[in-house]
Amino acid sequence: MAQSLVTLQGDLPGLKIARLAPYLFVFLWSTGFVGAKYGLPYADPFIFLSLRVFIAGAILFLVARLLKAPVAIGRNAMYKSSLIGLFLHAFYLGGVFFAISQGVSAGVAAVITSVQPVFVSLLAVKVLGEKLRAAQFLGLLLGLVGVVLVLGPTFDSSVSIVGIGAVFVSLFGSTTATLMQKKFGTGIPMLAGTAYQYLASGLVLAIAAIATGGTHIDFTPRFIGAMTWLIIALSVGAVLLLMWLLNTGSAASVSSLFYLVPPATALEAYILFGEKVNTQGFLGIGISALGVWLVIRRTN
């Protein structure tokens, strides 16, 4: 599937699809905070995520079978996929969901995790041998400034210390997973590799749910709706887009897209929940967009 997407770039329609992919990813990924807000009142965080990723993994295995894509990927590839999944889904998603369940606002969680592009871009120079242009470095700083402007007013002094710690675990997970996917994931079949990511992380999250006694789920229509969206749009759509973007672009360029996620989430919250975006917020959105453009723009 990854190869077929790459070959699409040779014609005009394929080129347009490739150019739209980053923006579709930002939209889909940003809805994860909205989905969490809808679903978490009805389920404990770790069992919620475990069920979500197990179902998503089963769907990807089924799709791989239907498309006659590889399912058996070898022990080494399975190990690498499982490790990437542990950091991306168990640490990153688990950290965010647990933090929100502890009372940390989505805005505060988004600000902290949005430092990820800086860490990824700086570490990619050493780990992946990527080059970071001066304009890209400026773009990363602008993106961070923009995110803080959008979500800074959401900070307050009553946030949970345990919850904030969980967000930093999430930051560590997303940074590590991005670097590992870029370094090891290119040669792994995308559908099967992502499915094994889900199986490994789902097992870890299930153990965490049992260990903490958090196994309650109330299958209300609102919870089922949130779960369905998170599986189809996030765990299947957005994650496959992320894997493909990392396989075809630099870690710095892809990571910079995460700067657009908090502003997009703020706009969605305004539309869906009536949470207003003030002048400072709109200024931050513009600065974030400029920062991302500086990072991902072509120089040739």
HSE value, Cβ hemisphere, 13 Å, CA-based, for 174? 27
- Pairwise CA distance, residues 198 & 208, whole Å: 15
Residue range(s) defining the domain that contains residue 243: 2-6+15-296
Place of tokens 């930002």: 26
pTM for the complete prediction? 0.77
Per-residue pLDDT tens digits of the chain, which is 300 residues long: 334 333 334 444 455 566 778 888 888 988 887 888 889 999 999 999 999 999 999 999 999 999 888 887 888 999 999 999 999 999 999 998 998 888 777 667 777 777 777 778 778 877 778 777 788 788 878 877 877 776 666 665 566 788 888 988 998 999 999 889 888 877 888 889 999 999 999 999 999 999 999 999 999 999 999 999 999 999 999 888 888 888 777 776 777 787 777 778 777 777 776 766 667 777 877 787 787 777 766 554
Strand partners, 43: 217
Place of tokens 């190990």: 79
- Pairwise CA distance, residues 77 & 84, whole Å: 11
Task: Note the Cα 254 to chain centre separation in Å.
Answer: 11
Q: Which amino acid is at 231?
A: I
- Contact status, residue 86 vs residue 205, Cβ threshold 8 Å: no
When divided into structural domains, the chain yields a total of: 1
